[in-house]
Amino acid sequence: MASAGLSVLDSGSFVLGPNAAELEKEVAELCGSKYGVAVNSGTDALVIGLAAAGVGPGDEVITTPFTFVATTEAIMMLGAKPVYVDIDPSNYNLDPAHIEDSITDKTKALLPVHLYGQCADATVLAEIADRHGLKIVYDGAQAIGSEHRGLGIGAYGDVSTLSFYPTKNLGGCGDGGMALTNSEDIYKLARSLRFHGQGDIGRDSTYAYEHVGYCSRLDEFQAAVLRVKLRHVREWNKRRNWIAERYIDGLKGLPLQLPVSKPENYHIYHQFTVRLEQRDQLAAKLSARGIGSKVFYPSPLHLEYAYTSLGYKRGDFPEAEKAAAQVLSLPMFPELTDEEVQVVIAAVRDSVKELS
């Protein structure tokens, strides 16, 4: 990676240079889409992806309350309204069974999240969207390399977005993101929007503006680093799967809800998330044994102060609320050694038994 970074310094091309252009092609190929538009964060990928798909003021976008805040934030930044639907407790993704009851004449799009690295039910979601003439913008920030029915996440919906935040399965040395699409029209609009709405309208495009846009350009240093790491992401995802298999085998028989990888999906385990009513006590016992853990996410978004204006209250989305109170993510990264995996398993087993 050092040589890649030095080559950028030598080139003098620091923003949206040749590395960014190649990264767009390489990531799009990995994810099964035609086009990639590199931007400066996963959140901007959502904003620009939604805008390029036609979401704007007054529209409603159906999404999940159990995820990172960026999804709701992006919708509201465009003047649209998030409409929440509860989750499927088996995989924490948006539950398709609740979606159609929430569709109105203002509904413009669905915004599902491939949470923890497992694809949402893209087949059923596509059927719903087709019936109602809706767009689908997927938040794939945690799911690069994951698949549904043998196809990457970029093969589904109108837009799929990625984050290259350092903790992601493909992470940079700073922020970055990408919007993926198979639509040439959306691709062209997203490219324009990321660079102040520039476009060719009959004169020098440097100072010709077709749209009110954004300043969201991936810097060349991040692109160069990401291209080096991209060569290893399939191998790293396989390692995550191996670790997940060891965890599942080693934690069987405990009163824990373990992750379930649906047979039609290739789960890339951005997180390995278990579930227990005594979650906080378990986290404390693991910490005392030197094992880190993390809660993703401790509060569903409909209960956050910033979004009280949406009018939701406690009890509106019981599965999301229960999940927020019970989920705990165990150590999961490809550099975990076989011995460390066994140490985590032993610590979880001993801690859970003490709580029984």
- Cis omega before residue 297 (within 30°)? yes
How is residue 139 written in tokens? Answer: 């938040």
Q: What was the pLDDT predicted at 15?
A: 84
Q: What was the pLDDT predicted at 257?
A: 97
Alpha-carbon gap, residue 245 to 263, rounded angstroms: 14
- 8 Å CB contact between 80 and 71: no
How does pLDDT run along the chain (356 residues), one tens digit per residue?
Answer: 667 667 765 667 778 899 999 999 999 999 999 999 999 999 999 999 999 999 999 999 999 999 999 999 999 999 999 999 999 999 999 999 999 999 999 999 999 999 999 999 999 999 999 999 999 999 999 999 999 999 999 999 999 999 999 999 999 999 999 999 999 999 999 999 999 999 865 556 678 899 999 999 999 999 999 999 999 999 999 999 999 999 999 999 999 999 999 999 999 999 999 999 999 999 999 999 999 999 999 999 999 999 999 999 999 999 999 999 999 999 999 999 999 999 999 999 999 999 98
- 8 Å CB contact between 257 and 53: no
Alpha-carbon gap, residue 279 to 327, rounded angstroms: 7
Q: What was the pLDDT predicted at 8?
A: 66
What does 237-289 look like in DSSP terms, one character per residue? Answer: HHHHHHHHHHHHHHTTTSS-BPP---TTEE---SSEEEE-TTHHHHHHHHHHT
Distance of alpha carbon 254 from the chain centroid = 29
Letter for the amino acid at 79? G
Q: What was the pLDDT predicted at 217?
A: 95
Domains of the chain: residue spans and CATH:
2-230 (3.40.640.10), 233-355 (3.90.1150.10)
What does 97-150 look like in DSSP terms, one character per residue? Answer: GGTGGG--TTEEEEE-B-GGG----HHHHHHHHHHHT-EEEEE-TT-TT-EETT
As beta bridge partners, residue 275 has 257, 327
Of the candidates 122, 233, 223, 217, the one whose C-alpha atom is nearest the C-alpha of residue 168 is 233
pTM over 0.85: yes
- 8 Å CB contact between 209 and 196: yes
Count of CB atoms situated within 10 Å of the CB of 130: 10
Alpha-carbon gap, residue 152 to 143, rounded angstroms: 9
Q: What was the pLDDT predicted at 101?
A: 97
Q: What was the pLDDT predicted at 9?
A: 59
Alpha-carbon gap, residue 91 to 89, rounded angstroms: 6
